Structure formats: C-alpha cells, structure tokens
Structure 1
Amino acid sequence: MARSEARPVVTLRSTAGTGQDYVTRKSRRNNPDRLVLRKFDPVVGQHVLFREER
C-alpha cells in the first residue's frame, strides 16, 4: 500500500547555518507554502527557525 501524497515527508533545515535538520510530515492541502517552524538547534543551544527544503 502506497503512502498518501497529501502528507509528504519534508526536511526542515536550520537557518542558523549549522546543518542541523528535522524530518516531519505536512499536509499539502492545509499548508501549500513552505513550512517554517521554531525548533531547538542543539549545535547553537537555542531555538531557531527551521525552513522547509525541497
């Protein structure tokens, strides 16, 4: 059984330039634009913005 294309796997990359990333799923129907979340970057030691990569 194939995975749904409505909820693809996306990579969130740190804007601090550390190379840290998170992997998550998102709903294309509810969030058609690129996802931006504030998450913890352990290299910097604080919360920074993580933007969706394509």
Structure 2
Amino acid sequence: MAKQTDVRPIVRLRSTAGTGYTYVTRKNRRNDLDRMVLRKYDPVVRRHVEFRAAR
C-alpha cells in the first residue's frame, strides 16, 4: 500500500484544447509545488497542445 503523504502523487493532465483527452502521470511534490503544465500530443485535434494538471 502507498503512504498517505506520497512524495509522488498521481496527477491527471487535461488538454487545454477542450477535447477532454487526458494523460495520467506522477509528479514530485517536493520539486514541483504548483500545477504541472506539459506540452503533449492530443490525438483528437492531432497536434501538440498544453496539458494542465486537473483536480
């Protein structure tokens, strides 16, 4: 079982293109305090867009 205060929590990245496509990844809570923003491929619009961490 994982600890409740996990250093690397699971984060859901949601596309800013409004397609609803998501990626799931882990982030290091000690190094990245704010929300994660990555530029990844969205297959619905067939281009690279920004993905932001959703709640």
TM bin (shorter chain): over 0.9
- Are 1:2 and 2:5 an aligned pair? no
Q: Give the unaligned 5+ runs of structure 2.
A: none
Residue 8 of structure 1: CA displacement? 0.1
Superimposed CA distance per residue, residues 21-48 of structure 1 (whole angstroms, 9 cap, x where no aligned partner): 0000000000010000000000000000
Match of 2:17 in 1: 16
Identity %: 67
Q: Give the unaligned 5+ runs of structure 1.
A: none
In the superposition, the TM-score normalised over structure 2's length comes to 0.92
Once residues 54 and 7 of structure 2 are traced to their aligned partners in structure 1, the CA distance between those partners, rounded to angstroms, is: 17
In the superposition, the TM-score normalised over structure 1's length comes to 0.93
Residue 2 of structure 1: CA displacement? 2.1
Match of 1:28 in 2: 29
